[in-house]
Amino acid sequence: MAKENSIIKAEAKNLNFYYADGTKALKNISLPVYEDKITALIGPSGCGKSTFLRCFNRMHDLYPGNRYDGQILLYPDNTNVLAKGVDPIEVRMRISMVFQKPNPFPKSIYENVAYGLRVRGEKSKALVDEKVEEALKGASLWNEVKDRLHDLAFNLSGGQQQRLCIARALATDPEIMLFDEPTSALDPIATVNIEELMSTLKSKLSILVVTHNMQQAARISDYTAYMYLGEMIEFDKTDKIFTNPSKKETEDYITGKFG
């Protein structure tokens, strides 16, 4: 397993997850998330990769009856994200998320990006202005929207909306950013933009991305995990997974014999 000089930012340890109806969606998953690297989760539909991703920011807490068992440790402070005593709000303030379909609020571009700061009670207009600009620049959207910050976010194109959502997730300086199939609703050009953006982003934060698209995982990620039926089949450096996987199942999936 690849260790070298990378620092581990977060780590899932023996994670099991049960949906409210009793379905066991994740089985004993362990996975490190390296600092300032992109980790991709691949696997066929229904393999639990999105479910796994959504454990990191406790999204499952929104729906009653879901149950975690195991740990997701956040370093360097060793916080177990899943612990009962840890407030999911606190977790979401440290780990932000970008969804599959662009989901801007029906508010202005500015308010969308500023929302995370508003939630944190930030009152200083100068600071919010600065953060919004910084986030929009970080999401390579600034040049396209700087003259119409107070337009409705819905007036942007799909790709721009997704970059806006990235800016919204970026504005609060998260330590980890989760991407749940961020380009599956976008056209190829917008997809390339988002991929390039993700590669730039990893200079300042750790990224965990779920993708349906194996080429995408190969293009952008440093590490790849292959999941199947709620289990982690293989995790390694992306080059290794795509050129010389150690498990037969992984190879079958990568080469398109299956899935």
CA angle 182, 206, 137 (to 5 degrees): 65
For 202, the token pair is 């990893």
- Taking the least distance from each CB to other proteins, the nearer of 30 and 65 is 65
- Taking the least distance from each CB to other proteins, the nearer of 159 and 245 is 159
Residues 174-233 binding other proteins (CB under 8 A) are none
Residues 133-162 binding other proteins (CB under 8 A) are 152, 154
Q: How many CB atoms lie within 10 A of CB 148?
A: 13
Nearest-approach distance from CB 162 to other proteins, in angstroms: 12
Question: Helix, strand, or coil here: 85?
Answer: coil
- Angle, helix 158-170 to helix 109-119, in steps of 10 degrees: 20
Residues 103-132 binding other proteins (CB under 8 A) are 103-106, 115-116, 118-120
For 179, the token pair is 């991407």
| Segment interacting with other proteins, rule: CB under 8 A, options 95-103, 197-205, 211-219, 229-237 | 95-103
Among 98, 63, 57, residue whose Cα is nearest residue 81: 57
- Taking the least distance from each CB to other proteins, the nearer of 4 and 21 is 21
Tell me how far apart the alpha carbons of residues 76 and 124 are, in angstroms, rounded to a whole number.
30
User: Among 19, 75, 99, 142, which residue interacts with other proteins (rule: CB under 8 A)?
Assistant: 99
- Taking the least distance from each CB to other proteins, the nearer of 7 and 119 is 119
Nearest-approach distance from CB 48 to other proteins, in angstroms: 18
101 binds other proteins (CB under 8 A): yes
- Under DSSP, the state recorded for 61 is G
89 binds other proteins (CB under 8 A): yes
| Segment interacting with other proteins, rule: CB under 8 A, options 26-34, 94-102, 190-198, 214-222 | 94-102
Tell me how far apart the alpha carbons of residues 209 and 50 are, in angstroms, rounded to a whole number.
9
1 binds other proteins (CB under 8 A): no
19 binds other proteins (CB under 8 A): no
258 binds other proteins (CB under 8 A): no
Tell me how far apart the alpha carbons of residues 129 and 250 are, in angstroms, rounded to a whole number.
47
> In what order do the strands lie in the sheet containing 38-42?
95-98, 176-180, 206-210, 38-42, 223-228, 231-237
Nearest-approach distance from CB 187 to other proteins, in angstroms: 19
- Taking the least distance from each CB to other proteins, the nearer of 2 and 93 is 93
For 113, the token pair is 């990006």
What are the angstrom distances between the C-alpha of 95 and each of 151, 179, 191, 216, 248? 28, 11, 23, 22, 34
- Taking the least distance from each CB to other proteins, the nearer of 118 and 248 is 118
- Taking the least distance from each CB to other proteins, the nearer of 165 and 232 is 165
Which residues lie near other proteins (CB under 8 A)? Answer: 57, 59, 62, 64, 89-90, 92-93, 96-97, 99, 101, 103-106, 115-116, 118-120, 152, 154, 165, 168-169, 172
